[in-house]
Amino acid sequence: MNQEQQSLLLRSASCFPLPPGAKFSYGTSGFRANASLLESTVFRVGILAALRSIQTRSVIGLMITASHNEVSDNGVKLADPSGGMLTQSWEPFADSLANAPDPHSLLQLLDDFVKKENIILEASPAAEVLLGRDTRPSGETLLEATKQGITSIMGATASDMGILTTPQLHWMVRAKNKGIEATEVNYYDQILASFRCLLDYVPQGNSSKNVSDKLIVDGADGVGGEKLEKMKTRLGYLTIDVRNCGDGVLNEGVGADFVQKEKVVPRSFGPADAGMRCASLDGDADRLVYFSVLLNSNKIDLVDGDKILSLFAVFLKEQLGILNGPEDGKSNKSYQPSLGVVQTAYANGASTDYLKQLGLEVALTPTGVKYLHEKAAEYDIGIYFEANGHGTVLFSDNFLSWLEIKKQELSLKSKDQHKAALRLLAVSRLINQAVGDALSGLFLVEAILKHMGWSIHKWNELYQDLPSRQLKVKVVDRTAVITENAETKVVNPAGIQEAIDAETVIYPKGRCFIRPSGTEDVVRVYAEASTQEAADSLANSVVRLVEQYLGFGRS
């Protein structure tokens, strides 16, 4: 690092001192905290983004958001060249950078890292970082600090893309690195064209069965509602009534996180909406859940991420089946596309059983989108969703290339198989393959419901969720708990897994696991059973086991 670059970094960093006593950790959601503490952090992440762009010779994304957190919080996270999350190998450096106590320590860290990673700063290709932010009032100030971080690396430019959903920024990064035009309008064009294409190939007779053309959407008073208002003016079929679109407090009594956890109606919904098809976005529109309001109640029937995953799996399996043609010729086919579903241990056991009964391969990973995404990428078509409504579908490049050729071959042979190929290609363009996206997911749900001729009630009847309970136990050292098998089995402390198994077997359809939190000193307990009373009892029994083996009290 030359003298001029060092001087520039020292001057810039001195404007953004680390808040006293602050400690930051980069996780699945990047860095998050009260917005008043974050200026130094976003400045430093700007530097990180510029270095990542130079190293990868690609465009990097930087999003300022705290997603479903309260409005006083904010956060920052990076999008890698693929549009996915920052590579895990850079996370420890992100932590060190954010916590460097003063400008000289920061400069030393940067100098060491640049040498270790062999990042050539002199005469390197220009770096570019795309910036986005959600609607939080603190976003503008934090964006300015981020720009100063980026431009403190000589030759790096910050391209402000404006107020966006998090998935829009990830989509733009992925598109730009593939040489595709990457504006917000391009994003809308691709989603809506793909949606119309899927509607064009809905089987005759299915389109009018049981499917209302009205959808009511809770925008969480965040950025997603605003974007959906723009998109809905270009729709033919489907009338969207967007509520909670910036007239209330972000994420307060609204949004996918609130609806999924509390299972009650969000603000602005009431008895008049009973039985209607409703959906909820979260604050930055990367989560989606559906629900219907129960008659004469503020309670809802929740259709969560597990059910969205199941809907996608049913449809994609059906299209692959049509594409493959009659079973008797299957053995002679040279290429059989793989379809896999990826879940965590938190997925409701009834959903996993249902997917397996469909004949689908179901893989389990540790909790965290980065693990789900990585595993889903191993299949030709990989579907992953968390119950909280975050997930997507990935299509391999090999499969899409094969499908394009297959589409041409089938255009003169089989009408049904040709349509299946067109539908699959349309899904690959509609769904956001970079990251979970509530807007693209919503339009895919709507197209599939139309295709199947299903109401939200029919969809919700695919399977009945098993009652579950989640609790947490405060501990001094969460690292004392070590798990394996996608966090479903405890290796340490010795003996606790056998005790959990002995307790679980008492309850019909019992399932229970514990795992250390990734962010706080607690151990999380998840239990399922055939009744709510049994699930509660199992969870409480295992909490007592955790207290017994770890020697600390419950929170």
Question: Which residues are documented as binding site for substrate?
Answer: 386-388, 515-519, 524
**CA dihedral sign, ordered 496, 498, 502, 507:** positive
| Residue 447 to residue 319: CA distance in whole angstroms | 14
First to last CA, the chain: 49
3-state secondary structure of 132: strand
| Residue 489 to residue 304: CA distance in whole angstroms | 25
| Residue 549 to residue 89: CA distance in whole angstroms | 33
| Residue 41 to residue 149: CA distance in whole angstroms | 10
Query: Which residues sit opposite 62 in a β-bridge?
Result: 78, 131
Question: Which token pair is 366?
Answer: 């540790």
Q: Are 418 and 369 in contact (CB under 8 A)?
A: no
| Residue 321 to residue 312: CA distance in whole angstroms | 14
Q: Where are the alpha helices (DSSP H) in 294-396?
A: 305-324, 349-357, 369-376
Q: In one letter, which amino acid is 157?
A: T
| Residue 394 to residue 380: CA distance in whole angstroms | 8
Query: Which residues sit opposite 391 in a β-bridge?
Result: 385
Which residues fall in the annotated binding site for Mg(2+)? 67, 282, 284, 286
Residues that are catalytic: 67
Q: What are phi and psi of 321, to 5 degrees?
A: -60, -45
Query: Which residues sit opposite 453 in a β-bridge?
Result: none
Tokens 């939200």 -> residue: 456
Q: What angle do CA 362, 367, 368 make, to 5 degrees?
A: 105
| Residue 324 to residue 350: CA distance in whole angstroms | 29
